[in-house]
Structure 1
Amino acid sequence: MRNGRSKLAVLAAIPLLAAACSNGDGDSSEAGTNGGELSASLTGAGASFPDPLFQDWIYSYGEDVQPGVEINYQSVGSGAGIEQFLEQTVDFGSSEEYLGEEELAVAAENRGCEAIQFPVVFGSVVIALNNPDLDGLVLDAETIAGIYSTEITTFDDPAIAELNPDMDLPGDEIVPVHRSDSSGTTAVFTHYLSTEVESWADEYGEGKELDWAGGLVGGQQNDGVAQGINQNPGGLGYLNQSFAQEAGLAVASVVNADGNPIEPTLEATIAASDEADVPENFQFAIDGIGGEGYPIAGTNWIFTYTCGYENATADALIDFWTWALTDESAQEVAGDLGYAPLGPELTERVIAELERTNSENGGTQGGDADTETSDE
């Protein structure tokens, strides 16, 4: 059995990493990671998946770390976040799907310099249910695919009953709920189904948007899916763990690659993230999860550019995300909301990539770079 790192082990390493990443002599929680006061206004847009965490981070950073930095993050969905980033209407983008080569090429052409991307947090996509009596219902990839393809229509279907011999299953009709906007959560969910169920891959495939089977209920963003589940007896839908937790919804356990039914806990998300093989370009998926890992796990990426920012903006971008990734209290909040932090080694790699923000403008530390994009 493969074991995930414990939450305590991860968080214990954060203060040491924060000290190593600090450019100043002061406490990062008082003066920011660069050791000085900053003044900037940042805009970001994208995934609703990490929105509860991002809003908490933004509030704490503005109140306790850098009062001169205002950050406005709009939870509009991964697809819209990527679009706004490529159109350069925001300072940073956010998505549960990384930028592919085509999108990176568009970014470089539009901006005149390279876009960079890096993961900031891991999270689970849970199968949430309207009926509290079904909390802990065991499902596998085949039954989930059957539900969303409308081949399985009731909770007492033989395929579900076989996975739950000790549960008194109702004959209620299942009402599947999906994201109706362009969604990274949908990309994670459908990638899982496509890699696990051949018939799903052939008929529906994967992506931020899908041509769903008829008769399903759609909802805008994670909030909309949670609402759709709550409003429909028999409601069942996929959404980020934090939203299910906040809405008080029952959640299913999902059978992983080792045949273990896994409840979507923080520890199970951490165990899944430990399975990820993260290449140098940070383009990866979390597949084939076994051991104690929850099998439907995703990553949130942040996007910035290597040129085109005012120095104050670039300094604030680097400082905020460095703080979010290394401050002990920020990481504890992530855990409390059900998000798995990056391990110390990956965090170091991510910060090195983050610090490339605006680097083609001649650097951001005390330089005189202007706001023009690079011609290189």
Structure 2
Amino acid sequence: MKKTFLLGLALVVTSASAQSLTGAGASFPYPLYSKMFAEYKSDKGVSVNYQSVGSGSGQKQIIERTVDFAGSDNPMSDEQLKTAPAKLLHIPTAIGAVVPSYNLPGVTAPLKFTGQVLADIYLGKIKTWNDKAIAALNPGVTIPPLPITVARRSDGSGTTFVFSDYLSKVSSEWKTKVGTGNSLDWPTGTGAKGNDGVAGVVKSTPGALGYVELVYAKQNKLPYGSVQNRAGKYIMADNGPASKAAEGVVIPADTRVSITNSPNAEAYPIASFTYVIFYQDQKYGNRTEAQAQELKKLLSWMTTSGQAYNEPLDYAKLPTNAANKAKGIINSMTYGGKKL
């Protein structure tokens, strides 16, 4: 009788553990993931607890194996992957756009920016809104002579990586002096945590400029500007222009690729895939095969049925080539060397 009770208890514990998953990382896709995971729980009965703590923290936590998966707007480098105790995999889940959002009382028309002007603002070379470089891009627009309060991320951020990756491609001075990364040695600016933190600085500070994921600008009712792409066109961020950034891009087998500063004439230039990162072999620590199966099911759903939630929340869906690569990667997951 006692053995039967213990066996039953073990089954209950295993079943319960498989009904929840944990993730942490990028704030860039947090609005999308919040919706996805709420719908997934309603449909599948599995809770997914995702903490929006920044891509850098998410990468750290997956290396330390304290979460089932990490969210990151930038893929981990070869050097970072070598620090993990086993093989990590990446799959893209959406394409998002990073926009220059600002607070300029009295300015109603969307401002135009070039990559060079954005780089010079974040280098501290352009200090006021009525600078001739900004005025030349926006003839006929009366811009107040406010000082520019530069808002940036203070945490390890994939949004920072995407923005700095773009600036490094359009400004040799930025590339040399600052470069690309989740965390930077910033020449200027006020730091804030998360996309929501930067949006908060912009919203509360007349004269502020910050880079945020599109949905955060929209949710906070913040104006944001168009950005000149490689073809010379000024493009406003939206699902279509963000999606165009990935058109014609060869997706590598591991899906780690940059799509900023796309050559596509209709593309928005500061766009990026956002990724989920997880271990190929799921047998580690006290993980059960049931947990591994639930993670595989979740990832499969996010890259198929879950894509229905991308566009309503201002993210672009995965292009077919990226979705197909993601499917193959998910299907390579194992548990103790055995295919899941």
Q: Same fold (TM over 0.5)?
A: yes
* RMSD between superposed Cα atoms in Å: 1.5
Correspondent of 1:92 among 64, 69, 74: 69
| Cα distance in 1, alignment partners of residues 327 and 295 from structure 2 | 11
Which residue is equivalent to 1:312? Answer: 290
| TM-score calculated relative to the size of structure 1 | 0.81
| Cα distance in 2, alignment partners of residues 176 and 275 from structure 1 | 34
Correspondent of 2:41 among 28, 42, 62: 62
| Cα distance in 1, alignment partners of residues 288 and 143 from structure 2 | 59
Residue 48 in structure 1 maps to residue 27 in structure 2:
yes
Correspondent of 1:257 among 221, 225, 230: 230
Which residue is equivalent to 1:9? Answer: none
| Cα distance in 2, alignment partners of residues 78 and 188 from structure 1 | 11
Change (3 A) 1:134 1:237: farther
Change (3 A) 1:277 1:135: farther
Which residue is equivalent to 2:3? Answer: none
Moved more, 160-169 or 176-185: 160-169
What secondary structure does 1:45 align onto? Answer: strand
Which residue is equivalent to 1:102? Answer: 79
| Cα distance in 2, alignment partners of residues 281 and 319 from structure 1 | 19
Moved more, 246-255 or 304-313: 304-313
| Cα distance in 1, alignment partners of residues 260 and 232 from structure 2 | 14
Provide structure 2 residue ranges, at least 5 long, that are not aligned to the other structure.
1-16
Which residue is equivalent to 1:368? Answer: none
Structure 1 contact 135–251 (Cα < 8 Å) conserved: no
Structure 1 contact 129–135 (Cα < 8 Å) conserved: no
What secondary structure does 2:339 align onto? Answer: coil
Which residue is equivalent to 1:131? Answer: 104
Distance apart, 1:281 and its partner CA: 1.9
Distance apart, 1:123 and its partner CA: 0.5
What secondary structure does 2:125 align onto? Answer: coil
Correspondent of 2:325 among 349, 368, 375: 349
Moved more, 187-196 or 338-347: 338-347
Aligned residue runs from structure 1 range 98-247, under 5 A? 98-107=75-84, 110=85, 113-131=86-104, 133-214=107-188, 216-247=189-220
| Cα distance in 1, alignment partners of residues 249 and 109 from structure 2 | 28
Distance apart, 1:356 and its partner CA: 1.9
State the percentage of identical aligned residues.
Answer: 34
| Cα distance in 2, alignment partners of residues 41 and 331 from structure 1 | 21
Structure 2 contact 112–226 (Cα < 8 Å) conserved: yes
Structure 1 contact 97–184 (Cα < 8 Å) conserved: yes
1:316-354 per-residue CA deviation (whole Å, 9 max, x = no partner) reads 111112112211xx3232101111111123212211101
Residue 358 in structure 1 maps to residue 334 in structure 2:
yes
Provide structure 1 residue ranges, at least 5 long, that are not aligned to the other structure.
1-37, 365-376
| Cα distance in 2, alignment partners of residues 306 and 362 from structure 1 | 11
| TM-score calculated relative to the size of structure 2 | 0.90
Distance apart, 1:359 and its partner CA: 4.8
| Cα distance in 1, alignment partners of residues 131 and 338 from structure 2 | 62
What secondary structure does 1:201 align onto? Answer: helix
Distance apart, 1:217 and its partner CA: 1.1
Structure 1 contact 222–243 (Cα < 8 Å) conserved: yes
Query: How many correspondences in the alignment?
Result: 318
Structure 2 residue identity aligned to 1:278: I
Residue 333 in structure 1 maps to residue 306 in structure 2:
no
Which residue is equivalent to 1:281? Answer: 254
| Cα distance in 2, alignment partners of residues 254 and 182 from structure 1 | 24
Change (3 A) 1:152 1:170: same
Distance apart, 1:39 and its partner CA: 4.2
| Cα distance in 2, alignment partners of residues 80 and 296 from structure 1 | 22
Structure 1 contact 46–78 (Cα < 8 Å) conserved: yes
